[in-house]
A and B are shown apart, each in its own frame.
Chain A
Amino acid sequence: KNEVEQSPQNLTAQEGEFITINCSYSVGISALHWLQQHPGGGIVSLFMLSSGKKKHGRLIATINIQEKHSSLHITASHPRDSAVYICAVMKGGGSEKLVFGKGTKLTVNP
């Protein structure tokens, strides 16, 4: 079983819809990251979380440490949000190693 699981694997939405991508992990962590990979291949860091909630524009990321679960929400989705969203965890206990989910491919249609 992978240490980081994302759902759904693929997601298609209509412009304007509210989107939720989920990430569950099975190991102790020191931080969780959400990344965005554009269709051209470039990877951008969206959020780094160790507790609570963060917001940047239309993107909101939450984490529940007790439940080992994080969600990425996109409000008022737009076709330019189409990308692969990747959850990654920095394992705890002094480890500096990132472990990645396999990503969620989001397509937002106009």
Chain B
Amino acid sequence: NAGVTQTPKFQVLKTGQSMTLQCAQDMNHEYMSWYRQDPGMGLRLIHYSVGAGITDQGEVPNGYNVSRSTTEDFPLRLLSAAPSQTSVYFCASGGQGNYGYTFGSGTRLTVV
């Protein structure tokens, strides 16, 4: 049982490049979400999904796109990377009913 698998673990991008952060879970959770963590700011919600075909914006959605075509996968796309998107990104699933969240191991992204 892998839980939440997040890839890649590290990435360096040039300004203007695009990329996709992958997130997959095998727990059949309906709820999945993406966060960024910056020093002094704590974790902030980027986008979330309550099920396949349903997504919504969080606190800091600008510059990011998501889609949810299956229950298992919830990729995060950076359309045109900017230095302000340098951060550590976490994907999580679960959190509904009486269950807590399961987090991926994180992606450290640097935009130069």
Contact = CB atoms under 8 A, between A and B. Distances in A.
Contacts of B48: 96-97
A42 interface: yes
Interface residues of B, number: 27
Given A41-B106, A43-B90, A98-B43, 6 more contacts: A43-B92, A44-B103, A45-B94, A86-B42, A96-B56, A100-B44
Nearest to A95: B56
Interface in A51-110: 86, 88, 90, 96-103
A48 B59 contact: no
Nearest to A102: B42
B41 interface: yes
A98 B33 contact: yes
A42 B102 CA distance: 10
A97 B45 contact: yes
Chief secondary structure at chain A's binding surface: strand
Contact of A98 (B41, B56, B95, B99): B95
Contact of B95 (A43, A47, A90): A90
B36 to A, nearest CB: 11
B40 interface: yes
Contacts of A97: 45, 48, 58-59
Given A96-B56, A103-B42, A46 B100 contact: yes
B38 to A, nearest CB: 10
Choose among B94, B101, B102 the residue with the greatest number of A CB atoms under 10 Å from its CB. B101
Contacts of A43: 90, 92, 103, 106
Interface in B33-59: 33, 35, 40-45, 48, 50, 56, 58-59
Given A97-B58, A98-B95, A33 B100 contact: yes
B100 A86 contact: no
Given A86-B43, A96-B48, A103-B42, A47 B100 contact: yes
